[in-house]
Chain A
């Protein structure tokens, strides 16, 4: 297969470059010293730090390295005219582009595999010494949001969407969950996480007593516990698996016991998680998503390099990469400029002379920014770190959506590259 010949060749060329070994060595060093980075005192902070360092720092290094290699590969072939040797053979230009991409994809996969194996082994070692309560980071939890949320009795007041309840049974917050057990799995256990805001008229205190009821709506069994809730800290509570198994629908009720305490709640403040072991498979999913991100960047870099010279194509790929990460910012920014328009169209200002500057701003900055944000790849979709940090199972749908997004985006890019390359002459 000609494509794989080119891919193999691309790979071989890349691994004979020094820059790759520098990055690779640097990556390994950073991963190895990452357990030594200073962190806060919480036992699982070290593991979180290692995850953050790997996914933010090491991956950034690798991405920049791969980007440099893939953005310069084609231009240097054209510059050194070694491309004549390929083009005078029965090789279509599309195959050259795809071959290059596959070569770098393979390189990325190799790099990711080695580095992530090292990282995951280190994490397992460190995490095996964690106290039991903090091992949730090593689990893969499926999140369930409340399907219904209401207040029984009366609330104290509501501000900014948060409902405040005064203690002493004046009001009870109730969250209903359904469909907890779509696929009954005897291995998974369940836990509730409370992320509730707390106020107390007693001034500065650390914990308040909280009455938490868990009710199986199907059989009507319920269990009430008094928990002490630390201020500004989420609280996790295991649920008796029997309750969930029979009913698959449960209600959770909460109220502060003492009349001097207040809690502020919203619908998403209480979540149920089904917990499985499976950090490694979750981590693997995160790596797959990261690989897709690498792939997309390779494709964008190769696409640019079909038309641009090496330095320009590096620069443009970097710009796309950076802007893809601050896409939200760009969107906000163009919205911000739009605010001016609203005033502009208001009746009193219609009579005023239109501000020429604002009109120019509109066409010079806002319109291009809007287009830019539509065209740019949205790298936010590839953020798998947030799942790992919370120990949440990455849903297969998320992986699927990212895969689909990458496929579509890649397809368009490869199409554009092959059109550009077909039109290109080689002097």
Chain B
């Protein structure tokens, strides 16, 4: 027993080709510890082994070597899946059902009681903003709407550990903003979140710690703040200063032997502007 939300020890996966010969090493000797209650980012370029890691954790694939634990239990343990929510990297959903039916199906797989199930489904559909489309078959959903229903399905069992594989792919900026808010909400509720993505912007504002994979090998692991902070530099953000005052401050720093690297107006990100515009219109 260990008390990590996710723990892997020497996890390795080599895909075999048609003739069962080992061909592609997708993940090599991964050691990870994800604490309970943290938001953990698994980063890496395309084909770096993020999805492979998740499939190994969920038992969709079997490791070539190594072991993994979820919430303290071996990941092959079926019971543990009661406490896990999973959003696959694409929306693999039954297209002939509508939002209500599909959530009901997944709710039943968790053996959630009828009344409770109905209650959660109503709330989730509301939360992911699909209320107007709840009776529409998924075959008529847009990619982003599918993503939303996928997310709803991942948390229908009120999981302790949520594994999200590229949750923001296909979502509009509002959607990805909302997802980020949702992830922070999970953290407030004490859930653990494992977030796979290659969109660094997603990670920066949200994750407590990240691991960066490349070609299946773990490159870095650490807290976001630690990784990003430049220990030898410092930044001021000041308002209401005249040009003369700015020059005075600059020369004061020079006198103290400090290098002034840049003096500029802070720019907001395009994402901020987009969200501002959309919000103001509403």
Contacts and interface: CB of A to CB of B under 8 A. Distances in A.
A84 B81 CA distance: 12
A110 interface: no
Contact of B109 (A84, A91, A425): A91
Given A5-B105, A5-B108, A85 B82 contact: no
Interface residues of B, number: 29
A11 to B, nearest CB: 12
B60 A426 contact: yes
B49 interface: no
B93 A90 contact: no
Contacts of A13: 94, 96
B109 A90 contact: yes
A81 B92 contact: yes
B110 A84 contact: no
A85 B108 CA distance: 12
Interface in A389-427: 425-427
A12 B80 CA distance: 29
A424 to B, nearest CB: 9
Given A5-B108, A9-B105, A87-B58, A82 B82 contact: no
Scoring B58, B60, B153, B157 by chain A CB atoms within 10 A of each residue's CB, the highest score goes to B60
Given A9-B105, A82-B92, A2 B111 contact: yes
B281 interface: no
Given A2-B109, A92-B78, A87 B96 contact: no
A353 interface: no
A86 interface: yes
A13 B139 CA distance: 14
Given A89-B109, A425-B61, A426-B61, A84 B92 contact: yes
B58 A88 contact: yes
Contacts of A425: 60-62
Interface in A263-281: none
Nearest to B109: A89
A85 B92 contact: yes
Interface string B233-259: 000000000000000000000000000
Given A5-B108, A426-B55, A85 B153 contact: yes
Contact of B60 (A2, A6, A16, A84): A84
A82 B93 contact: yes
Interface in A105-140: none
Contacts of B82: 90
A426 B58 CA distance: 11
A160 interface: no
Contact of B106 (A12, A89, A426, A427): A89
Given A90-B82, A426-B60, A427-B61, A84 B88 contact: yes
11 contacts: A2-B108, A5-B105, A5-B109, A9-B105, A84-B60, A84-B92, A85-B93, A88-B84, A89-B106, A89-B109, A89-B157
Interface of A: 2, 5-6, 9, 12-13, 16, 80-82, 84-92, 425-427
Given A82-B93, A84-B60, 16 more contacts: A2-B111, A5-B105, A81-B90, A81-B92, A82-B94, A84-B58, A85-B153, A88-B81, A89-B81, A89-B109, A90-B80, A90-B110, A91-B78, A425-B61, A426-B60, A427-B55
9 residue pairs, one from A and one from B, having the closest CB atoms: A81-B92, A88-B86, A5-B108, A89-B109, A90-B81, A426-B60, A425-B61, A90-B82, A82-B92
Interface of B: 15, 55, 58-62, 78-82, 84, 86, 88, 90, 92-94, 96-97, 105-106, 108-111, 153, 157
